[in-house]
Structure 1
Amino acid sequence: MSSNMETTEIGAEDSCQIELAHLPLICGLPDDIALFCLARVPRKYHALLKCVSKRWRELVCSKEWHSYRQKHNLDETWIYALCRDKFEQLCCYVLDPNASRKSWKRIQDLPPSSLKRKGMGFEVLGKEVYLLGGCGWVEDATDEVYCYDAAVNAWNKAAPLSTARCYFASEVLNDKIYAVGGLGSNSSDPRSWDTYDVHTNTWKSQSDANVVPDIEDSIALDGKIYIRCGSSAVSSHVYAVVYEPSRGTWQHADADMASGWRGPAVVVEGTLYVLDQSSGTRLMMWQGDRKEWTAVGRLSPLLTRPPCRLVAIGKSIFVIGKGLSTVVLNVGNARNAGGVMVSSSVTKSTSDDDVICCKCVAI
């Protein structure tokens, strides 16, 4: 009798779940029309949508939702900043640049094992943010990878790197994550790089003599990856290497371009911009056709707090410095007032955190 009752209860639960799965997203509307309506709700309200029902929560967290908003130009880009606080622990913040009152908000529950690590990679692929590798004072370089789903607002462990790495370059090119060079364990090859394929959830390792372990910065430009290498103690000479995916090899990059790459860089509509912080804060632009650097303008020292990092949305460059001080300037409409670029700023954070890296996620 008891067994029959349990079977009946289980059957009832399954039946209920099947029934819920077939309920319309919005009563009286076909699901495709409901999706048409719901997908137009601004991203800042997506957390509320997930509270309405299980079906709405699954939809908002799904790849279908992400793809639909992207296809119909409904996706909104938010900025994610990886920082280090006064206790030398990692922390992560997010900024909605479309909000009427722009302010940075802290993301909770970073993976505990990564909090004290340094030299980690920070990269974005689709709607996921990846924390890669890293090391500590008493910990060798690790191959661990953590993934934060911005739609679900949760961290999970992901497929590990092929090679343990610390203080390396990471970039996304052709929907793949590249982890290049850096320092590793004694058995690691410092002149190697790993490539992550999200479709197979696997990393592939390769090596090249032109890959150097001492890396300062990296960018993806014109379908290639550029890495700025550290200058030696006896020379201020700056050089860079470039990866050509069609050949699968690394070569030395244009010397003129490398010579002016003396700060954090960002690419805006195929043009490379660099923030020179050696004397004040000056934005430089690389003109590849003329092979020369041009000064766009300098930023007000009252607004920026170096060292800064750069990230771009459309034609707007966000200059994010210590304490998440944020200056926004539009390079498509760059104007100067007394030699200083016209810009706007975001409400300052109450923290004094150091900004390590910034990336964008569009959903």
Structure 2
Amino acid sequence: MRMWNLLPEDVKMDCIARVPRCYYTTLSLVSKYFRSLIASPELYARRSLLGRAEYCFYLGFSDTSSSYMSWYTFRSTDKCLARIQSIPCVPIHSICVVVGSNIYMIGGLYNRKGTPDVSVISCVSHKCEILPRFRRNVAGRLPIGFFDRKIYLIDYYDDHDPRIMVFDTESRTWGLGGRSKVEAEDRVVGCVGMSGKIYMTTTKNGYICHLNEGEGGAWETDEIMNSEQWIDPCILDDMLYSYDEYKNSLC
């Protein structure tokens, strides 16, 4: 550490920028200096300039006896999971949406009871911040998407009038965004947001909602999505992936 302290700050920044991100969780435990450096936006800008930007997988796990979920990063170098100690445990079955370098978590279950709690995890600083609550207790699978700095969530609290709730990530406030065109009894099977759209499969149909086309978005049915039984779809490099439980394969 004595030799390290003698180095210029820009040299220190370059050294840490060349370290794989999977080791940042461990490195942040060394000292306050490393925690501060790893949390700084300048470090990640430097990584991009050096061509060292990389994807990092975040996974949440809970055991069968707990109502809480712990967060881990996946180290591709040695195929190991590293616990993120600085992030407190969060409720299971939260509705999660990734926005930039942040993971927003809405609702969840505490001791089998729903909660309206909302929080955000910074994947840069590995800190968790409490945000304004949702309008009711919520948990499980609800259609959700992101467009123009806003998170869109379709809430089926009122079976006869499902609403689109909107969370502004800049002002950090909740508001109404129109009505859903999907029937409330049409149970959601899988949903994911990509490029200003919500892709959703239900027990009856496949839907695409164009969030940028007026209040409540423009809805259309999709034959391709309706032809597959998609479970928990996800996005990687602008491609939509899902597990087909009948064919036991990815699609």
Identify the TM-score tier after normalising by the shorter chain: 0.7 to 0.9
TM superposition shift of 1:261: 4.3
TM superposition shift of 1:146: 2.1
Relative contact order higher in (CA < 8 Å, ≥ 6 apart): 1
Does residue 65 of structure 1 match 2:43?
Answer: yes
Match of 2:132 in 1: 159
TM superposition shift of 1:283: 2.6
TM superposition shift of 1:70: 4.4
Provide the C-alpha distance between the structure 2 equivalents of 1:57 and 1:107, rounded to a whole number of angstroms. Answer: 13
Counterpart selection for 2:234 from 263, 266, 276: 266
Provide the C-alpha distance between the structure 1 equivalents of 2:198 and 2:130, rounded to a whole number of angstroms. Answer: 26
SS in 2 for 1:263: strand
Match of 1:94 in 2: 72
Q: Write the deviation string for residues 22-45 of structure 1: whole angstroms up to 9, x where unpaired.
A: xxx96353x445433332222233
Question: Quick one: percent identity of the two aligned structures?
Answer: 20
Aligned residues: 244
SS in 1 for 2:104: strand
Match of 1:257 in 2: 225
Match of 2:6 in 1: 27
Structure with bigger gyration radius = 1
Counterpart selection for 1:170 from 135, 144, 153: 144
Does residue 204 of structure 1 match 2:175?
Answer: yes
Counterpart selection for 1:181 from 147, 155, 160: 155
User: TM-score if structure 2 supplies the norm length?
Assistant: 0.75
Does residue 240 of structure 1 match 2:207?
Answer: yes
Is the alpha carbon distance of 1:157 and 1:227 closer, same or farther for their aligned partners in structure 2, counting shifts above 3 Å? Answer: same
Match of 2:108 in 1: 134
Is the alpha carbon distance of 1:142 and 1:52 closer, same or farther for their aligned partners in structure 2, counting shifts above 3 Å? Answer: closer
CA contact (8 A) 2:233 2:242 kept: yes
Q: Where do 1:1-363 residues align within 5 Å? A: 27=6, 29=8, 31-47=9-25, 49-50=27-28, 54-70=32-48, 72-87=50-65, 89-99=67-77, 101-107=78-84, 115=91, 118=93, 120-135=94-109, 139=113, 141-162=114-135, 164-167=137-140, 168-182=142-156, 184=157, 191-213=162-184, 214-229=187-202, 231=203, 237-248=204-215, 249-279=217-247, 281-284=248-251
SS in 2 for 1:200: coil
CA contact (8 A) 1:226 1:243 kept: no
CA contact (8 A) 1:176 1:197 kept: yes
User: TM-score if structure 1 supplies the norm length?
Assistant: 0.55
Provide the C-alpha distance between the structure 1 equivalents of 2:196 and 2:226, rounded to a whole number of angstroms. Answer: 18
Q: Write the deviation string for residues 317-337 of structure 1: whole angstroms up to 9, x where unpaired.
A: xxxxxxxxxxxxxxxxxxxxx
User: What is the root-mean-square deviation of aligned Cα atoms in Å?
Assistant: 3.5
SS in 2 for 1:74: coil
TM superposition shift of 1:102: 0.6
TM superposition shift of 1:251: 0.7
SS in 1 for 2:13: helix
Gaps of 5+ in 1: 1-24, 232-236, 285-363
CA contact (8 A) 2:152 2:167 kept: yes
SS in 2 for 1:58: helix
CA contact (8 A) 1:84 1:90 kept: yes
Provide the C-alpha distance between the structure 2 equivalents of 1:85 and 1:64, rounded to a whole number of angstroms. Answer: 37
